[in-house]
Amino acid sequence: MVIRLNTGSALGARVTVSKFSDVVAMVALVSRDVVRVGPLGLPGEWTLPAQAAACVVFANGSGSPRNRFVAAVLHVHRLATLLVDLLGEDEADDPALLTQRLLEAIDWLRARNGVASATSRPLGIGVLGAGTGAAAALQAAALRPAHIQALVLRGGRTDLAPDIGRVQAPTMLLAGGADAEVLRQNRLALHLLHGEKRLEIVPGASHLFEEPGALDAVAHLAADWFVRHAAQRLR
């Protein structure tokens, strides 16, 4: 299914970047911890909202303002987040290495929490990836179908995921209408995915979704997808 989103709609207007502090203030948190993840002790941040429904691992760096804004919106929707720097400053942006580190982060998360919510019920895991991080998310889902319940790929390099056809997790592809190459790749990916899938096109948005309302729309679409699938498809 391909959907074009009107970023001037109520969906895109629910939260704006200029109101980031208001988003943070809306959330009741159980904990927000600086953590060291996996065998290498990768730096990250684990945030657990009250009555969390699921958790989302970001397959990109923890310090990105875009990631932090999206994470804040996910918290409003009762989604826990793990933001982790999967690569060191001197390491190449390699999809295979990203996949390995992402799997280590997921293993760490499962071992740390069980993955447990405030009710001690294990939480389903979703992965949000952008760029080459999207390829890593697809590869990780292909390798660990029982551990990843949902994917959201923002401006993703889906062409770098050779095992995309093995992915079972429900997958949402998010592409900017002005990001012609990624949009082309995502249309191809839509045909290669065999599970539940959806392509959302944000009109006029570029690769980084920097246009007014674009990132807001991305954040809410991602939250809705994870609540629908990661919270309900726990294995």
Residues in a beta bridge with 154? 130, 174
What pLDDT does 4 receive? 45
Do you find a cis peptide bond into 115, omega within 30 degrees of 0?
yes
Domain spans of the chain, in order of start: 2-229
What pLDDT does 8 receive? 38
What pLDDT does 122 receive? 78
For the chain (235 residues), the mean pLDDT of every run of 10, in chain order, is 41 41 57 90 92 91 82 94 91 92 94 58 90 96 96 95 96 96 95 95 92 94 96 56
- Give the SS3 label for residue 33: strand
What pLDDT does 14 receive? 43
The CATH code of the domain at 2-229 is 3.40.50.1820
What pLDDT does 63 receive? 65
User: What is the 8-class DSSP label of residue 232?
Assistant: T
Phi, psi (degrees; rounded to nearest 5) at 215? -70, -30
Task: Specify whether the CB–CB gap between 231 and 125 falls below 8 A.
Answer: no
